[in-house]
Amino acid sequence: MPLAASVLAQRRTIPIGLELYSVRNELTRDLLGTVAAVGKMGYQVVEFYAPYLDWTPAIAKDVRKVLDDNGLKCHSTHNNDPSFTPDGLKKAIELNQIIGSQSLIRASAPRTSTVDGWKQLATQLSDVSAQLKPLGLATGYHNHQTEWNAVEGQRPMDVIAANTPNEVTLQFDVGTCVEVGADPIAWIKAHPGRIRSVHCTDWGAGAGRGYAVAFGEGDCPWKPIFETAEAVGGVQYYLIEQEQSAPGMALQMAQKCLDNYKKLRA
């Protein structure tokens, strides 16, 4: 197979998903209908964010049916502190297993201003990883802006990466990295095989832009990011995240972002 054809074939094997925080208000009003609408747009994957932990198993089973009926997979969930308490982890495992999710990604960190504090978080992630592994599940960490700013001369993301096993995914939120001036390509190259999922959050400098820009219309260098994530990072799926949309327009923005993604990947 020619190289160009091989690259295109690889692209087609990596599914594109939506981080459902993008449609959070719609999800609150109509959980099942919103999930179905996302599937009908052509998304292949979804990631549920922290409030999913309030579900009952019965709700999770209803969600799984909607996922299956609309050709959607849920590979991971976005989790905050409650999911990593003993009782919370037990419930999170049950719900993730029902909906088919294989990874509980931590999306926030306790407030800390020391390297030791970040090392303690890495220890917790490592411990949770060891608990999940026999169940065929995994964990990971999702960066925001904070993790790129040095603490006692070290970036928290570097501390987390260095003090967790390879099984702990470094879920890469691109927009927050670009916003603070960190190098997204260098980050991926430095951690081969650990960038298993990427939050395709775009960001643009200038008044009225920021996180209001649609995917593909900001300052993030998407083409080299995709190339590096696929050649080095070990990416298994992408998740578009649109944090800011005009009132009542989140679903339309999610569709626009998907359309832009398809154009960029053509």
Using the 8-state DSSP alphabet, how is residue 190 labeled?
A: H
Residue 120: other Cβ atoms inside 10 A: 15
How far is the C-alpha of 119 from the C-alpha of 241, rounded, in Å? 28
Tokens representing residue 86 in the block? 């003993």
pLDDT digits (tens, 9 = 90+) for 122-178: 999 999 999 999 999 999 999 999 999 999 999 999 999 999 999 999 999 999 999
Q: Does the pLDDT of residue 5 top 70, yes or no? A: no
The percentage of the chain sitting over the pLDDT mark of 70, rounded to a whole number, equals 95
Q: Which helix (H) or strand (E) holds 223?
A: helix 222-228
Summary mean pLDDT of the chain:
95
CA distance 49 to 52: 6
For 164-189, how does the pLDDT look when each residue is reduced to its tens digit (9 = 90+)?
Answer: 999 999 999 999 999 999 999 999 99
Strand partners, 104: 77, 139
3 state DSSP class of 155? coil
Helices (H), the chain: 3-13, 24-29, 31-41, 57-69, 86-99, 115-132, 156-162, 174-179, 184-190, 222-228, 250-265
Instruction: Give tens-digit pLDDT for 86-109.
Output: 999 999 999 999 999 999 999 988
When mean pLDDT is compared across 44-53, 66-75, 108-117, 247-256, the lowest value belongs to: 108-117
